[in-house]
Amino acid sequence: MKISREDVLRVAELAHLELAPAEVATYREQLDSILTYVAKLEELDVSKVEPMAQVLFRAENDAHPELREDTPRPCAIADAVLSGAPDAAKPFFRVPKVLDR
Amino acid sequence: MSAPSTWTIAGVRQALRTKKISARELTQDFYARIEHRNPELNAYLALSPERAYAQADRVDAAVGRGEALSALSGVPVGIKDVISTRGTRTTCGSRILENYTPAYDATAVERLEGAGAVILGKTNCDEFAMGSSNENSAYGAVRNPVALDRVPGGSSGGSAAAVAAGLAVAALGTDTGGSVRQPGACCGIPALMPTYGRVSRYGLIAFASSLDRIGSFSTTAADSAAVLAVIAGHDPNDSTSAPVPVPGYAADLEKPVRGLRIGVPEEYFGPGIDPEVRAKVEAGITLLEKLGCQRIPLQMPHTDFAIATYYIVATAEASSNLARFDGVRYGLRVHGATLGEMYRKTRQQGFGAEVKRRIMLGTYVLSAGYYDAYYLRAQKVRTLIARDFADAFQKVDAIITPTAPTPAFKLGEKTSDPLQMYLADIFTVTGSLAGIPGISVPCGKTASGLPIGLQIFGPHFSEGCVMQLAHAFEKAGGFSI
């Protein structure tokens, strides 16, 4: 298998997912099948190929999107944003205690 | 009055202009249809009648004052639930956003409404647009209105089903690997994915940012053009939206297709394609030849690597984009003693199986020691796939392929094997990776009555030519070939 039980647990930890024991086995099997499939990319010689870092089309006149001016604008949305939060204490989002002292 | 079963945008405008119906009556009519059909189809997740009727009344007032109609005045539309709508719940088909109501509209929604469209509500989809059958929605599968035991395709299955069933005149969907085109094919309606950057993604809740595009469903190619003309164009709120002028698509539709060179890549007609799909798409190509198009055989050697490339690039981007759902700022929060425990419990309970699978895969391919072998290699193969298209468009004006290898499959048929489900996108992901536009148009049905889709790809920003071919194909009877 391309992926071990420890890999699955490590990835879950990195992704902040808590997996039930049965899920660990299922995901291991499914991820292994997908990783085995995608290994077909190894058939290609890509040593002289640049990665496609940008999708954006650039016309010959170089009509790329310009970055807009960094001009301050009023942004009075704090109330609307906080009203959607699960636990807000305006103007903050409240979370479980992070520091212990 | 009794309304025709299938409205077009031109039909709505004509009926409003001649006062055969008011926008309010039309809206009522569509809500009545939804009430009647939606319990069976599950195409809509939320309705926004207050907003819809307020807009309909504005349209009626303008008609009353004798003002000229806007491009989409009174046209009832559905919006896929991954696209933000101010004041209307937007769940992305996920439990993690079950109670999330955006504070703003996506640019595409704002533009539709600005052009007079009436937003009926939000349509069902695979969770965070991850799926090819709509079975990954936390709010239940959507049924295909053409065959109720079949999937409508995905991920924009609700939008496709709504338009196909006459529960909206047009709908917005999103296409990351085929999520507009494949459900369009499954439900038998035109479905357009514009060029990357053609339509602003502002307010689209991100799955894979280098692939995500907003597209549309409609019942005619002319309606695809009418919707795109409204939603296309640069938006300062999306740094990847292209400052490329938007042509008058409607005028281009009637241009003759005689002399256009259509490429037919052999890799899209190999083993694995359903024989009925192959036969109908071949017949569709023959019809285009009869209209004067020149058929040119093509080879696109990297086609077979597209699914593998896509599922690395898309999941990598998804793992990063979906990190924001942690129970802090919006949506579900599950209590934990520590911050980390809160994150983990929230994400464990809030995300469904496919979303977790893709986050895990994406995290894995980006993790230390694997990045070069998977992600970097996939980004290089993506260059090769884009180059296949660039080379082809030196020789042809458009490329014709099947949209999907099979017609709509049965509900539950592929849910146990994620890889089999991924292969439903084998002919659509190529164009997604290359950033080019594509449309799926109906191309007849199987003997058992299931719709088949023909896909037309064009070079970047060639939507006008792609829709021109789609329109000519429709007028020549291609939709029911």
Catalytic residue among B94, B155, B216, B440: B155
Q: How many CB atoms lie within 10 A of CB B459?
A: 21
Q: CB distance B311–A34 less than 8 Å?
A: yes
B341 CB neighbours in chain A (<8 A) are 96
What's the CA gap between B81 and B98, in Å, rounded?
11
Residues 2 through 31 of chain A touching chain B, CB cutoff 8 Å: 3, 7-8, 10-12, 14-19, 23, 27, 30-31
Q: Which residues contact B158 (CB under 8 A, 6 or more apart)?
A: B42, B43, B44, B45, B78, B80, B81, B123, B124, B125, B134, B137, B142, B152
Task: Give the rounded distance of the alpha carbon of B203 from its chain centre.
Answer: 16
What's the CA gap between B301 and B205, in Å, rounded?
34
Q: CB distance B342–A42 less than 8 Å?
A: no
| B179 in catalytic set | yes
User: What's the pLDDT band for A76 if we cut at 50, 70, 90?
Assistant: confident
Please, what is the Cα angle at B423 between B264 and B190, to 5 degrees? Answer: 55
Mean pLDDT of all residues in B310-331: 97
User: What's the pLDDT band for B329 if we cut at 50, 70, 90?
Assistant: very high
Q: Which residues contact B149 (CB under 8 A, 6 or more apart)?
A: B143, B410, B411
In this model, does residue A11 exceed pLDDT 70?
A: yes
3-state secondary structure of A53: coil
B195 CB neighbours in chain A (<8 A) are 57
In this model, does residue B98 exceed pLDDT 80?
A: yes
In this model, does residue B43 exceed pLDDT 80?
A: yes
Residue A64 C-alpha, separation from nearest chain B C-alpha, in angstroms? 7
Nearest to B378 among A17, A41, A98 (CB): A41
Please, what is the Cα angle at B132 between B297 and B120, to 5 degrees? Answer: 110
Mean pLDDT of all residues in B7-30: 97
Q: What is the predicted pLDDT for the residue at B5?
A: 61
Q: What is the predicted pLDDT for the residue at B351?
A: 98
B460 CB neighbours in chain A (<8 A) are 57
Query: How large a percentage of chain B has pLDDT more than 70?
Result: 99
What's the CA gap between B271 and B261, in Å, rounded?
26
Nearest to A49 among B383, B435, B461 (CB): B383
Q: What is the predicted pLDDT for the residue at A75?
A: 86
- What is the longest distance spanned by two Cα atoms in chain B? 70
3-state secondary structure B403-438: CCCCCCCECCCCCCCHHHHHHHHCCCHHHHHHCCCE
Q: CB distance A85–B329 less than 8 Å?
A: yes
A3 CB neighbours in chain B (<8 A) are 364
In this model, does residue B205 exceed pLDDT 50?
A: yes
User: What's the pLDDT band for B441 if we cut at 50, 70, 90?
Assistant: very high
In this model, does residue B22 exceed pLDDT 90?
A: yes
CB pairs under 8 A between A and B: 174
B132-161 pLDDT, tens per residue? 999 999 999 999 999 999 999 999 999 999
Residue B119 DSSP one-character state: E
Residue B117 C-alpha, separation from nearest chain A C-alpha, in angstroms? 25
Q: CB distance A59–B364 less than 8 Å?
A: no
What's the CA gap between B56 and B67, in Å, rounded?
15
What's the CA gap between B27 and B448, in Å, rounded?
34
What's the CA gap between B319 and B300, in Å, rounded?
30
Nearest to B352 by CA among B332, B369, B336: B332
Residues 40 through 99 of chain A touching chain B, CB cutoff 8 Å: 40-44, 46, 49-53, 55-57, 59, 63-68, 77, 80-81, 83-87, 93, 95-98
- What is the longest distance spanned by two Cα atoms in chain A? 60
Q: What is the predicted pLDDT for the residue at B3?
A: 47
Mean pLDDT of all residues in B269-273: 91
Whole-angstrom CA distances from B394 to B54, B113, B389, B398 are: 50, 39, 9, 10
Residue A88 C-alpha, separation from nearest chain B C-alpha, in angstroms? 8
Q: CB distance A16–B374 less than 8 Å?
A: no
B208 CB neighbours in chain A (<8 A) are none
B171-183 pLDDT, tens per residue? 999 999 999 999 9
B318 CB neighbours in chain A (<8 A) are none
User: What's the pLDDT band for B197 if we cut at 50, 70, 90?
Assistant: very high
Residue B69 C-alpha, separation from nearest chain A C-alpha, in angstroms? 32
Q: How many CB atoms lie within 10 A of CB A59?
A: 12
Nearest to B336 among A19, A44, A96 (CB): A96
| Residue scoring higher pLDDT (B243 or B456) | B456
In sequence order, the β-bridge partners of residue B214 are B174
* Minimal-distance CA residue of chain A relative to B321: A15
* Residue keyed to tokens 């699978």: B357
Q: CB distance A81–B196 less than 8 Å?
A: no
Q: CB distance A86–B327 less than 8 Å?
A: yes
Nearest to B401 by CA among B260, B251, B259, B297: B297
* Minimal-distance CA residue of chain B relative to A27: B357
Catalytic residue among B179, B224, B241, B440: B179
User: What's the pLDDT band for B470 if we cut at 50, 70, 90?
Assistant: very high
Whole-angstrom CA distances from B35 to B30, B40, B41, B46 are: 9, 10, 11, 12
| B224 in catalytic set | no
Interface pTM, i.e. ipTM:
0.91
Rg of chain A over Cα atoms, rounded to whole angstroms, equals: 23
* Minimal-distance CA residue of chain A relative to B100: A84
| Residue scoring higher pLDDT (B382 or B270) | B382
| B80 in catalytic set | yes
Q: CB distance A17–B351 less than 8 Å?
A: yes
Residue B237 C-alpha, separation from nearest chain A C-alpha, in angstroms? 9
User: What's the pLDDT band for A53 if we cut at 50, 70, 90?
Assistant: confident
Residue A17 C-alpha, separation from nearest chain B C-alpha, in angstroms? 5
B310 CB neighbours in chain A (<8 A) are none
3-state secondary structure of B216: strand
Q: CB distance A59–B244 less than 8 Å?
A: yes
Residue A75 C-alpha, separation from nearest chain B C-alpha, in angstroms? 13
